[in-house]
Amino acid sequence: MARNQFASKFGTMAAIAGSAVGLGNIWRFPYVAGNNGGAAFLIIYTVICLLISVPVMLSEFVIGRKGQSNTYRSFIKANGKKAWGIIGGVEIYAGLAILAFYCVVAGWSLEYIFAAVTGEFASIGGGDAAELINARIAAMGQRFDIFVGQGGAHILSIPRPVVWTIIFLGLNCVVLAFGVSKGIERCSKFMIPALFLILLILAIMSVRLDGFSEGAAFLLKPNWDAVTGQTIIFALGQSFFSLSLGMGAMTTYGSYIQKDQSLVGVAFIVVLATILMAILAGLAIFPATFTFGVEVTSGPGLVFKTLPALFASLPGGPWVGVVVSSLFFILLFFAAVTSSFSLLEAGTAYVTEEWTFGGRKQLSRPMALTILFVLVGALAVLCAFSQMEGTSLVIMGDSLFDFIDKLTSNIILPIGGIAACILVGWRMEDKIVFNELTSEGQFNGAIVRFFMFLAKWVCPIVIFYMFIKGLI
Ligand code: PHE
C-alpha cells in the first residue's frame, strides 16, 4: 500500500501552518510580546524563529521525509540505532498528552461558539462606564467558572466541558479517518484561509475603536528596556511550542511532504505566516482591552472571561457583539482543531505502522483512531475533571492539566528539538541531508548549507543552554 502524502503544495503549507497556528498564537503570543518590549520582542522572536526554530523544523522534516515513516521509526531509520526511537516514541506520547488538554480547551471554544451564536454576548451598550465593564467581566468570569466546574455546582450532573471535550476529540478522529490528504489537508485548505480572513476582519474592526492606537502601540512600539535575559527564554519557548516542534508533529507531517517540494520554502512560509497571524491576533484583541481600560492578560482568563464582556460592550448595536464574538470563537476553534490534527496524526501514523494485532500486519486508520479515541479521551476527561473544584487530580502541586502543560513545554519539547538537530547534524551523512533539503539539487544549496551549519553547531548549544536556564 502506498504511503500517505499531502496532495498539493498549498495544502501542505496549510496543514503545516495549521499545526503551528494554535491557541499559543491567539492567547499567549500577543500578551508575551506586549509585556516584553512590543516590537523589540517581535524582532528578537523573528530572529530566534529564523536562526533556531527553522533549523530544528528542517531537521524534523528531513528525519520524517527521509524515513517515510512515523516519528518513532523515522528516528531509528535516520541513524540505524534503536535507542533514538525512544526519543521519537516519547515525543509521540507527549504529543498525545498535549492533545488531551488541548481537547479540553478546544471544547470550551465549542461551548462559546454556541453561546456567541445564540446571542449571549450581544452588545448591550453603556460600555463606557468602568464599573459596568468590571461588573460584566465579573459576571462573565462567574459564567466561565461555573461552566468548568469551579462553582462546584454541577459536579454530579453531566459536566458540559467533558461532553464538549469528547465531541471535539471525536471530530478530530472522524476527519483523520478520511486520511491525510482527504481529511487533514482538505480541512486545513479551507480552515487556514478562513482563519486568516477572520483575523483580518476582526483586526480591521478594531481600527475604529478608541483604544486602537494604544493597543497597537502596546504590541508594536519597540521598548528595549523591557528586554531581559528572560525575554529570550520566553521567545524561544514560545517559538518552539508555536511551531509545533519536539512533539513528533513536524516529523510526521514532514513524511507526507512530496519529494519535489522545497522544505526550506515550506519552513519559511509557515514561520512567517505564524508570526503574521499572531500579530493580527494581538491587533484584534488589544484595542478592545485598551478602549475599555481593562487589564491585559492572557490564557483562558483573557479569552473566556475578559473578551466576552468586552464583546458585549462594543458600540454599534447588539449585532456587533454577536458577530464579533461568533467570529472570534470560530477562529479559536479553527486554530485549535488544525493544531490538534497534527498531534493526533503523529499518534495515528505510529499506531497504524507499529502496532499489530492478531497477526495482522497493520492496523487500519479507523481502527487506530478508535484506540486513540479511547486512550486520549480518557486522559482528556481526567484533564477536564482536574479543573473542577473538589477534585484531587493534583500532581506536584499543579492540576493534571497544568502539569502536562509544564512537563511537555519545559522538558520534552527542548529535548526533542536538540535530538532532531543532533541526529541530522551529527548522525546522518551530510550528503544525504543535503540532498533531502535541496530535493536532489533542485533548490538553492547555499541556504541549505547555512541551515545545516546552524543545526549542527548553533541550535543544540543554544537550546541546551536555555533549557537549563529555564529549569533553574
Ligand atoms: N503549535 C500549537 C499552538 O500554538 C500547539 C502544538 C504544539 C501543536 C505541538 C502541535 C504540536 O497552539
What does the pLDDT read at residue 455? 97
What does the pLDDT read at residue 374? 98
Rounded average pLDDT over 63-83: 95
- Cell for 251? 516529523
Count, residues in the chain: 472
Q: Alpha-carbon distance 294 to 128, whole Å?
A: 12
What does the pLDDT read at residue 169? 98
Residue type, 154: H
The pick from 60, 242, 270, 411 for probing ligand 1's pocket by mutation, whose C-beta has the most ligand atoms within 8 angstroms, reads 242
The 10s digit of each residue's pLDDT in 96-118 is: 999 998 999 999 999 999 999 99
The pick from 172, 245, 339 for probing ligand 1's pocket by mutation, whose C-beta has the most ligand atoms within 8 angstroms, reads 339
The C-alpha angle 219, 225, 227, rounded to 5 degrees, equals 70
Q: Which atom of ligand 1 is closest in space to residue 241's alpha carbon?
A: 7
pLDDT at 384 over 90: no
CB 308 within 8 A of CB 325: yes
pTM for this predicted structure: 0.95
The pick from 16, 19, 56, 176 for probing ligand 1's pocket by mutation, whose C-beta has the most ligand atoms within 8 angstroms, reads 19
What does the pLDDT read at residue 356? 84
Q: Which atom of ligand 1 is closest in space to residue 274's alpha carbon?
A: 4
- Cell for 26? 491567539
CB 271 within 8 A of CB 18: no
The CATH code of domain 9-471 reads: 1.10.4160
Which class for 354: exposed (0-12), middle (13-18), buried (19 or more C-beta within 10 A)?
middle
Q: Which atom of ligand 1 is closest in space to residue 21's alpha carbon?
A: 4
Q: Which atom of ligand 1 is closest in space to residue 22's alpha carbon?
A: 12
The 10s digit of each residue's pLDDT in 15-50 is: 999 999 999 999 889 989 998 999 999 999 999 999
Q: Alpha-carbon distance 203 to 199, whole Å?
A: 6
Helix (H) or strand (E) holding 321, with range, is helix 318-354
297 vs 126, more confident? 297
pLDDT at 63 over 80: yes
The C-alpha angle 401, 185, 96, rounded to 5 degrees, equals 20
Q: Which atom of ligand 1 is closest in space to residue 336's alpha carbon?
A: 12
The 10s digit of each residue's pLDDT in 150-163 is: 665 555 566 889 99
pLDDT at 431 over 60: yes
CA distances from 390 to 394, 396, 472 (A): 11, 17, 31
Rounded average pLDDT over 293-299: 86
Residue tagged 491557541 (cell numbers): 23
What's phi and psi for 398, nearest 5 deg?
A: -110, 155
What's phi and psi for 399, nearest 5 deg?
A: -65, 155
Helix (H) or strand (E) holding 120, with range, is none
Residue tagged 537550546 (cell numbers): 463
Nearest CA to ligand 1 atom 7: 244
How far does residue 240's CA lie from ligand 1's centre (Å)? 9
What does the pLDDT read at residue 453? 97
pLDDT band for position 337 (cuts 50, 70, 90): very high
User: Domain residues of the chain, as ranges?
Assistant: 9-471
Residue type, 381: V
| β pairing state of 394-395 and 398-399 | antiparallel
Nearest CA to ligand 1 atom 6: 244
Nearest CA to ligand 1 atom 3: 22
Question: Using a 6 Å CB cutoff, which residues line ligand 1?
Answer: 19-20, 22-25, 95, 98, 241-242, 244, 247, 249, 339, 342-343
What does the pLDDT read at residue 127? 57
How far does residue 358's CA lie from ligand 1's centre (Å)? 35
